[in-house]
Amino acid sequence: MFMLDAEPESLQLEPKHTALLIIDMQRDFVEPGGFGETLGNDVSLLRDCIEPCRQVLAAARAHGLLVIHTREGHRPDLSDAHAQKIQRGNPALRIGDPGPMGRILIRGEAGHDIIPELYPVAGEPVIDKPGKGAFYQTDLELILQTRGIDTLLVCGVTTEVCVHTTVREANDRGRRCVVLGDCCASYFPEFHAVALRMVVAQGGIFGWVSTAQHFLTAIND
């Protein structure tokens, strides 16, 4: 057991019942030429969270926590992609179009894969999801149930979209969520800040917010 300093209050974690969930740290979102950039975003804003994530990932592995990665993307025939998702906005390239790293957000393409700095190792589940939330149309819930996981340490991108959606989904399923704020990022820094405030509002309506350093200090104490 270890005590984690967090907002709105500290909480006690049991490693065997805690998982690190790293959301969508994919080349299509984080690197130039991917889907994030085609939407007109500055992808460099997401890169600040890579090093804190890397440190947390290393510590989680060293202490035997379950590590789960997610990737947002679609089948090559786009049969699992809603038309409204493909057609929304006016991006330079749409989902499924050829891009610098292969077809945009298509499973099996280079851009869909996880960045090298946080790449999964053998035994770490990778959840391929067609939507924003990690529970929608995936087997994440089954994995958590079979491993007895009641608490998620959540990292990844973007804070206000896929991270927030997943935290809300997990909260509705009775799981505790701790968002490691500096291990998350957004193309819109103001959205990131507000999204973290929303998690801890009203006494922690969706969960807790902590930092990479608080986690590293607690688990290594």
Q: What is the pLDDT of residue 175?
A: 98
Which residue is it, tokens 């006494």? 203
Tokens of 150: 């009641």
Q: What is the pLDDT of residue 221?
A: 84
Q: What is the pLDDT of residue 88?
A: 86
Q: What is the pLDDT of residue 121?
A: 98
Rounded-to-integer distance, Cα 26 and Cα 37, Å: 13
Q: Is 129 a catalytic residue?
A: yes
Q: What is the pLDDT of residue 38?
A: 84
* Active-site residue, from 28, 49, 129, 183: 129
Polymer length of the chain = 221
Residues of the chain scoring pLDDT < 70: none
Q: Is 162 a catalytic residue?
A: yes
Tokens of 6: 């967090």
Q: Buried b vs exposed e over 149-179: b needs ≥16 C-beta within 10 Å?
A: bebbbbbbbbbbbbbbbbbbbbbeeebbbbb
Q: What is the pLDDT of residue 35?
A: 86
Q: Is 184 a catalytic residue?
A: no
Helix (H, G, I), strand (E, B) or coil at 127: strand
* Active-site residue, from 162, 177, 183, 184: 162
Helix (H, G, I), strand (E, B) or coil at 45: helix
